[in-house]
Structure 1
Amino acid sequence: GTALLRTLTELTADLPDADPGRVAAATLRGRSARADVTELRELATEAAAGLISEDPAYSRLAARLLTVTIAAEAASQGVTSFTGSVAVGHREGLIADRTAEFVRVHAERLDALIDTDADDRFGYFGLRTLHSRYLLRHPLTRKVIETPQHFLLRVASGLAEDDTVRALDEVAALYALMSHLDYLPSSPTLFNSGTRHPQMSSCYLLDSPKDELDSIYDRYHQVANLSKHAGGIGLSYSRIRSRGSLIRGTNGHSNGIVPFLKTLDASVAAVNQGGRRKGAAAVYLETWHSDIEEFLELRDNTGEDARRTHNLNLAHWVPDEFMRRVNADAEWSLFSPADVPELVDLWGEEFDAAYRKAEAAGLAKKTIPARDLYGRMMRTLAQTGNGWMTFKDAANRTANQTAVPGHVVHSSNLCTEILEVTDDGETAVCNLGSVNLGAFVDTATGDIDWERLDATVRTAVTFLDRVVDINFYPTEQAGRSNAKWRPVGLGAMGLQDVFFKLRLPFDSPEAKELSTRIAERVMLAAYEASADLAERSGPLPAWEKTRTAQGVLHPDHYGVELTWPERWA
């Protein structure tokens, strides 16, 4: 008891609002008769965590206790240094040969990079998630074989371009950003960088299977392989004929998309993401598809379970023509893709003309008031959180990859933030990372440290691009697309922390103006980094097919007023 109180007192020396005696008392009440140091520390961690709702200082205390536990667990597997961690991981078949060789060549400097004080930047719940899901574990003992800092440096080392000193300097820069929580790549990169299967991409976007059985089941196989390696799936289903459509090969009638989505639903649930989290997929359907009403019922909690999908997320791929008819309180026609196969690959004025031509030809399966369908879509969204609204024409009008006819965006991804072209032979891929904006507030000046933000974005873009070359691709279609387009997705988190630190109300004009400036600066630095990469390694293979090659950058679509026009010139 005395030793425990001494440890807790030391860990709370700079936490005046945390009471070590209270945590010690709760720990001793819950201990067993033969409790050892490990059990006491775990009980103390739980006791401190239970007090977080009373004071945030207990989150720091619980995290510090858990940090000690993690270090002890790794030490029990023979790991006391970064190079030791990589050696154990390589011996057990977890770490890739190229990463192990990079670490061997630069062992001394890499070990010196480890910043043990950086663990104190974690809150308890973040560190607990890291421990339970992200740190590599011994295949047999299931004990962790890396600490949080070993983990971050392993992720950075896995992205090294080669064994040169320049590559080492780049790895050191990336590790510094991550250990300070200035920037973090996405979960698949954190899970898999440096491992034997470095599948580091977050998003996979697949076009709808063709309207034939072999294609539908081939798509199941692709989705399972992508999900197995921690990818989130966005999948269109707009090419599959609707319920009641004639199947000429058997002279029968189709059951529509729902039975196929039910099978997909079971597959997504069965194939978890490397054993770490459930698989996840979003299915996109165009609003003219005549199974749209059954699609809207898929996440309902009532009705026939055979026609419900409890794991799939649902999204609408909405043409502007539908919204115009909602505004005009006009009728909306629903079709089977078997009758209008061309609609899936058309957008804008070409879609509008083809849609109206199909109506005039009497091909519609059903005609309903547009507002009735829109109301049903809104109710589903409100009641289930599903049936996300994504807009086909706006996506294709502004996406960088749709400059050339025939390149069409058919859906977004699992989280609706990625827009890339897909077809039967190309599965779009995106590698994600997020800048932590709250880390760049200079409270002394009451402004953002813009130069440091620039440098962080440039490093982030460099390594997001690196993922394209190092990545393990679960399917041939994904590898082909990523090598061709080389897309990266750089986002931001922590905007609310910026407003808190600068004491700006969220809805103030100042907050809105600052938010816009931050977004512009991140985009500027990302474009500059991309240009530097192109100068060094050459343009991406599909460069001539992008809007950027035509001199159209994303802000040009919106007529925005630029804060730093001289850097855009």
Structure 2
Amino acid sequence: MQVTKRNGHREPVDLNKIVRAVGRCAKGLHSVDPMRVATRTISGLFDGASTRELDELSIRTAALLTGEEPEYGRLAARLLSAVIEKEVGGHEIHAFSQSVAQGHALGLINPRLLSFVQAHARKLNDSIERSLDREFDYFGLRTLYDRYLLRHPQQRTVIETPQQFFMRIACALSGGEIGEALALYQRLARLEYLPSSPTLFNAGTCHEQLSSCFLLDSPQDSLESIYQRYADVAQLSKFSGGIGLSYTRVRSRGSLIRSTNGLSNGIVPWLKTLDASVAAVNQGGKRKGAACVYLEPWHADVEEFLELRDNTGDEARRTHNLNLANWIPDLFMRRVDADAEWSLFDPKDVPQLTDLWGPEFERAYAAAEAAGLAKRRLGARELYARMMRTLAQTGNGWMTFKDASNRACNQTALAGRTVHLSNLCTEIIEVSSTDETAVCNLGSINLARHVGADGFDFDKLADSVQLAVRQLDRVIDLNFYPIDSARRGNLRWRPVGLGVMGLQDVFFQLRLPFDSEPAKALSTRIAEEIYYQALCASVELAISQGAHPSFAETRAAAGELQFEAWGITPSDPARWQALRERIREHGLRNSLLIAIAPTATIASIAGCCECIEPQISNLFKRETLSGDFLVVNRHLAEELKRLGLWTPEMRDHIKRAEGSIQAIAEIPEALRQIYRTAWELPQKALIDLAAARGAFIDQSQSLNLFIENPNIGQLSSMYMYAWKAGLKTTYYLRSRPATRIAQTTVAATAAVVCSLENPESCEACQ
């Protein structure tokens, strides 16, 4: 038999080459048998097979074995790394500077990056560490290869290796400082910190749209304003922005239109048009637009709004591409708690309500009720139950809290400044107006890579935070802004959103149950340290580059920091007081600093659990462009190996239990507590952890909640508790009936679960 090489030449099959190639990649992996992979690859040979096909067969074979031994995932990653290197350079890898020059020649790389790389070519080339590719597991590297590495526009082959990719990102975000570029490269390449997907997609390219989130205030109640918002959304969707958009100012159904003496059809037809636009502007088929519409619960169209995602009813009044969120004032929740009545209004009659919060809102609302302006009155619990039903049926209609968001926002110190909504994923809390679109640039620290032999490494965390804040601040100046209002808002406030991922991995490594008091204490201390170090970094930037233009108009200028809005006293108050004085003296470069985003895709790259969430399952299916593979929790596998319990029978037992180990008596109770899934944890614990860390998060956090089979009573209590705990926002309600692992045969190595357990397929969470 013969094989076809990449250059088209054919040569006789050399089986030893296959064995040697797999063996080289398996060095240091003590739990894998390279001959199993090599022999299965050889068994798939056929005359004329390409070497690329054989490489892919080896990779798939190793990946399929991951379900029985996690180290096969590392072997699959190394095999894929070898394929990438061959695709980029053939027999000889091009230097980093050569890959950048090639990208520029192909129209992919911008002149600024090319100039920087050429000026420091030798140092940058010498600093590439190819061995760091071994930090990847298979799914992380596969994600990077399939979606992030630059490709030749015609041939569609990749033109950079993973390490060259990280160096490109680091150079693009370095601010022209070679030392900063090399420091950032080390963090990225070691998967200790990653910017958000838009930054990774576009840094150093000819279209540097690096921001993750855009918040558009509601259009004014006019045809011209509504259509301008359509144009804004289309421009932002074109460049992959995740969009939050309020519609609270737009008049309700049945409202008089004086110019025509007709009656308004309300917000639903406008949202139907927006829904079509979001689906249509999809970056040439790469990724559809993603938007979330916010509405306050006093709007007279709120009940129709809550039906927009229903799978039944009039399709002309359904919007399957839009996400929905409720922007809820405290007054509504208090009336729910008291089982009181609630009034619905036409925004045309009460335009002031949108821009008010707290006691001012409540006075204006009561005055509108007293003036007889309500279009309808109903029980507050009746409307709240409808919200819960929408959540239970669709996971959508997110509960976000207007007053908590405004009370604790650094930007709302002056009267008239109002946070009108959050973003697509509910972690951004910024003021917006007709003239200013709020923007945020995101990045996340991989907490799993900050655990050392002596426990969690807070010194390393401090270094990571300082580096990340400097990088995120530079994005503000480098960024391409699709609309002028976004540029104005971002340069005025200079907000950033530093988040985390891998919290669950930290708990696994330190053997802490997710809902334990030590876990809560560690999570809170991590949040406090990140906030403190981020403020320190922002002060240093203010000293060297100046405070953001609106610093004098913020709460921080008066000495008020985030935890004071929560009534919390931080640890070591003396250091906080010293920092407060430095802030008063020098200002802050950034009005906002901390936001915990979902991190679905970048967590896959980093090989850790998503953001602050508990694990979904100890065993689940990963979907990639190359196929579907069963994955096991590597932390659990190592624990069971040490106990001599990692056997085929045990793996079958875990499959039958759909990734749960709670009913497996052979596993010690202490381990069963540590390795509970999100479905097996009390949701009160997730809310308590979020509230404890919330005192040190000046934006918000994407907090999913998990109930296997939700009912209205459970949800009512859960979200009431979240509001009373002081949370600013919550995100998806995850339910499980559609996520079961298929059990046609336990022997099968495939498993079927929904995108919840394959979050990289979620367009809203990138």
TM over 0.5: yes
Deviations 1:434-486 (A, max 9, x none): 1111111122x2x2222111111001000100111111111100000000000
Query: Is the Cα contact below 8 Å between 1:133 and 1:276 reproduced in 2?
Result: no
**Deviation beyond 6 Å, 4+ runs, structure 1:** none
Alignment partner of 1:386 is 2:400: no
Query: Is the Cα contact below 8 Å between 1:241 and 1:257 reproduced in 2?
Result: yes
Query: Is the Cα contact below 8 Å between 1:230 and 1:274 reproduced in 2?
Result: no
Deviations 1:86-106 (A, max 9, x none): 101111111111110000100
In structure 1, what is the Cα distance between the partners aligned to 2:378 and 2:475?
Answer: 47
In structure 2, what is the Cα distance between the partners aligned to 1:334 and 1:460?
Answer: 45
Q: For 2:357, give the aligned amino acid.
A: W
In structure 1, what is the Cα distance between the partners aligned to 2:49 and 2:104?
Answer: 35
Alignment partner of 1:300 is 2:300: no
In the alignment, which of 70, 86, 100 is matched to residue 72 of structure 1? Answer: 86
In structure 2, what is the Cα distance between the partners aligned to 1:476 and 1:517?
Answer: 39
In structure 2, what is the Cα distance between the partners aligned to 1:389 and 1:517?
Answer: 27
In structure 1, what is the Cα distance between the partners aligned to 2:25 and 2:216?
Answer: 50
Q: How does 1:126-141 map to 2 (within 5 A)?
A: 126-141=140-155
Distance 1:558 1:208, change over 3 A: same
Match of 1:505 in 2: 513
In the alignment, which of 526, 529, 546 is matched to residue 538 of structure 1? Answer: 546
* Structure 1 residue 274 displacement after superposition: 7.0
In structure 2, what is the Cα distance between the partners aligned to 1:146 and 1:270?
Answer: 31
Query: Is the Cα contact below 8 Å between 1:31 and 1:39 reproduced in 2?
Result: no
Deviations 1:119-178 (A, max 9, x none): 11111111111111111111111111111111111111111323xxxx100111111111
In structure 2, what is the Cα distance between the partners aligned to 1:560 and 1:276?
Answer: 45
Alignment partner of 1:524 is 2:532: yes
Query: Is the Cα contact below 8 Å between 1:52 and 1:58 reproduced in 2?
Result: yes
In structure 1, what is the Cα distance between the partners aligned to 2:322 and 2:335?
Answer: 29
Q: How does 1:244-263 map to 2 (within 5 A)?
A: 244-263=254-273
Alignment partner of 1:472 is 2:480: yes
Match of 1:285 in 2: 295
Deviations 1:301-329 (A, max 9, x none): 11121111111111000011101110111
In the alignment, which of 378, 394, 399 is matched to residue 368 of structure 1? Answer: 378
Query: Is the Cα contact below 8 Å between 1:402 and 1:408 reproduced in 2?
Result: yes
Query: Is the Cα contact below 8 Å between 2:563 and 2:569 reproduced in 1?
Result: no
Aligned residues, how many?
563
Match of 1:104 in 2: 118
* Structure 1 residue 77 displacement after superposition: 12
Deviations 1:341-396 (A, max 9, x none): 11111111111111111111111111111001101101111211101001111111
In structure 2, what is the Cα distance between the partners aligned to 1:261 and 1:398?
Answer: 30
Q: How does 1:154-169 map to 2 (within 5 A)?
A: 154-162=168-176, 167-169=177-179
In the alignment, which of 22, 25, 28 is matched to residue 42 of structure 2? Answer: 28
In structure 1, what is the Cα distance between the partners aligned to 2:354 and 2:374?
Answer: 15
* Structure 1 residue 16 displacement after superposition: 2.6
Match of 1:482 in 2: 490
Query: Is the Cα contact below 8 Å between 1:79 and 1:145 reproduced in 2?
Result: no
* Structure 1 residue 553 displacement after superposition: 0.6
* Structure 1 residue 76 displacement after superposition: 5.4
Greater CA drift, 102-111 or 55-64: 55-64
In the alignment, which of 183, 187, 204 is matched to residue 214 of structure 2? Answer: 204
Query: Is the Cα contact below 8 Å between 1:329 and 1:369 reproduced in 2?
Result: yes
Q: For 1:236, give the aligned amino acid.
A: S
Alignment partner of 1:181 is 2:220: no
Distance 1:303 1:251, change over 3 A: same
Deviations 1:492-515 (A, max 9, x none): 111111111111121221111111
Deviations 1:266-308 (A, max 9, x none): 1112222575433211110001011111111111111121111
Query: Is the Cα contact below 8 Å between 2:507 and 2:514 reproduced in 1?
Result: yes
In structure 1, what is the Cα distance between the partners aligned to 2:540 and 2:471?
Answer: 13
Query: Is the Cα contact below 8 Å between 2:246 and 2:421 reproduced in 1?
Result: yes
Distance 1:78 1:473, change over 3 A: farther
Q: How does 1:184-195 map to 2 (within 5 A)?
A: 184-195=194-205
Match of 1:113 in 2: 127
Query: Is the Cα contact below 8 Å between 1:326 and 1:374 reproduced in 2?
Result: yes
Structure 1: runs of 5 or more not aligned: none
In structure 2, what is the Cα distance between the partners aligned to 1:358 and 1:274?
Answer: 48
In structure 2, what is the Cα distance between the partners aligned to 1:558 and 1:237?
Answer: 29
Match of 2:629 in 1: none
Greater CA drift, 553-562 or 449-458: 553-562
RMSD, aligned CA: 1.4
* Structure 1 residue 36 displacement after superposition: 2.3
Percent sequence identity is: 60
Q: For 2:477, give the aligned amino acid.
A: D
Q: For 2:30, give the aligned amino acid.
A: P
Greater CA drift, 200-209 or 504-513: 504-513
Match of 1:8 in 2: 22
TM-score (norm 2): 0.72
Match of 1:314 in 2: 324
TM-score (norm 1): 0.97
